[in-house]
A = this chain, B = another copy of it.
Amino acid sequence: MTPAATTTSGRDLPHPERAEIRLESVLHALSDPMRLQIVRELAAEDRELSCSDFVLPVTKSTTTHHFRVLRESGVVRQVYRGTAKLNGLRSDDLDALFPGLLDRILAAADRQAERA
């Protein structure tokens, strides 16, 4: 049973392998304001965040949808922990594939936010 601190169990969700991640999909995932916001918050905190940590101006269904797009494009990794689902940026994979890309996009987003 290997008792863990919390029930890290639960189904695991389908993620693309590192090699399957497509640049176009990543850019598309990040081109939505809601999802870009999610990724920015994830990058700001360097810990994993649960979906409910985000206060977005949309319903829960919609939030789920956006997280799935992010997961299926390879931007975030999601794991269940008990009733929550933790989200973490796949910075390592993205950086291996597209060095520096994520950083620049995040920097660009910060700049734009400041300018506003």
Which A residues are within 8 Å of any B CB, using their own CB? 19, 22-25, 27-28, 30-33, 36, 97-101, 104-105, 107-109, 111-112, 115
Contacts and interface: CB of A to CB of B under 8 A. Distances in A.
A29 to B, nearest CB: 8
23 contacts: A19-B115, A22-B112, A23-B36, A23-B105, A23-B109, A24-B32, A24-B33, A24-B36, A25-B31, A27-B27, A27-B31, A27-B105, A28-B28, A28-B31, A31-B31, A98-B104, A98-B107, A98-B112, A99-B104, A100-B100, A100-B104, A101-B107, A104-B105
A66 to B, nearest CB: 14
* Interface SS of A by simple majority: helix
Contacts of A25: 31
Q: Name which of A24, A25, A28, A30 has the most chain B CB atoms within 10 A of its CB.
A: A24
